[in-house]
Amino acid sequence: MSGNGPEIRELTDPADLDKLTRVFDDVWRPDPANRPVSVDMLRALSHAGNYVAGAFVGDRLAGGSVAFFAAPVGTTLHSHMTGVSRVGRGHNVGSALKMHQRGWALARGLTTITWTFDPLVARNAYFNIAKLGAAPIAYHRDFYGDLGDELGGGDESDRLLMSWALDVPLPEPSDETVGDVVGAGGRMGIEMTGDVPKAIAEPGSPVVIPVPRDIEAMRRTDPVAASHWRTAVRDALAPHFASDTAAAAPATRFLRSGHYVVATDE
């Protein structure tokens, strides 16, 4: 990307790869003994023809993405991590990286990019589902085990597995509201008992599942409340995603207000 946007380029030099690990450290703030990726691993992935890219704002590395070829062989790229440092905020770095990754995959004849993300992080859910048009296809409880990073706040590492079909256009913006969904027959999938969220199982489709506006801040200020939200969203969302196949997954939207809308078979 040129002009006022970030410049995205593939990284192969160990010095650049070292800078990329420092960007990821800035994003995730991991235990130094358990960094998410090392320079030697990035070098090996890059040398083997996988995707290792950095986003530059001016001459400063402000974000990056790492992905590798995955099954089904010849069709899929799995994006392991994409992060934007404080330097890159406000420069559309995340979007630029994802579009560059999409073009890279298409140039190699791939049709799908997959990745996982924490379903409690509303801004990522909105970006992945509403902006990119990727589809959740599976829910994995405590996918990575104990990550020990500051961003996760010691919470279990539940993840939604996403599948992004590259042969369809990006979705159009939507102003749909929770009121629109409920008015058309949808039901709420979580209720509040005092300050504690709890999944509820009542008939009706689609199911509307809220998430906190800023779970990362909540993990710092009220980790008990954050843990309650992990359990409630897991109990409400996971039963609808029991398979790793896109064909078996329900159609899912994410509203600007911070709500999943899951079409069920009920």
Residue 1: pLDDT band (50, 70, 90) is very low
- Token code pair at residue 120: 């409690």
> What is the structure's pLDDT at 66?
98
- Give the pLDDT score at 2: 45
Q: For all residues of the chain together, what is the average pLDDT?
A: 92
Find, among 207, 163, 217, 161, the residue nearest to 184 by Cα: 207
pLDDT of residue 46: 98
Q: What percent of the chain has pLDDT over 90?
A: 82
Q: How, if at all, do strands 51-57 and 7-10 pair?
A: antiparallel
For 12-19, what is the mean pLDDT?
96
The predicted model gives 138-147 an average pLDDT of 90
For residue 162, the surrounding DSSP H or E stretch is strand 159-165
Q: What is the pLDDT of residues 196-242, one digit of tens each?
A: 999 998 777 899 999 999 999 999 999 999 999 999 999 999 999 98
pLDDT of residue 152: 57
Q: What is the pLDDT of residues 54-64, one digit of tens each?
A: 999 999 999 99
The whole-angstrom separation of Cα 16 and Cα 40 is 12
Tell me the per-residue pLDDT of 144-186, one tens digit each, with 9 for 90 and over: 987 765 555 578 999 999 999 999 999 999 999 999 999 999 9
Q: What is the mean pLDDT of residues 252-261?
A: 98
> For residue 27, is pLDDT > 80?
yes
pLDDT at 187: 95
Does the structure show a pLDDT above 70 at 98?
yes
DSSP state of 126: I
Predicted pLDDT of residue 247 = 73
CB neighbour list of residue 37: distance below 8 Å, 6 or more residues apart: 21, 24, 66, 80, 81
**Would you state the pLDDT for residue 33?**
78
pLDDT of residue 48: 97
What pLDDT is attached to residue 89?
A: 85
Query: What is the C-alpha separation between 240 and 262, in angstroms, rounded?
Result: 8
Quick: pLDDT tens for 57-84.
999 999 999 999 999 999 999 999 999 9
pLDDT beyond 50 at 127? yes
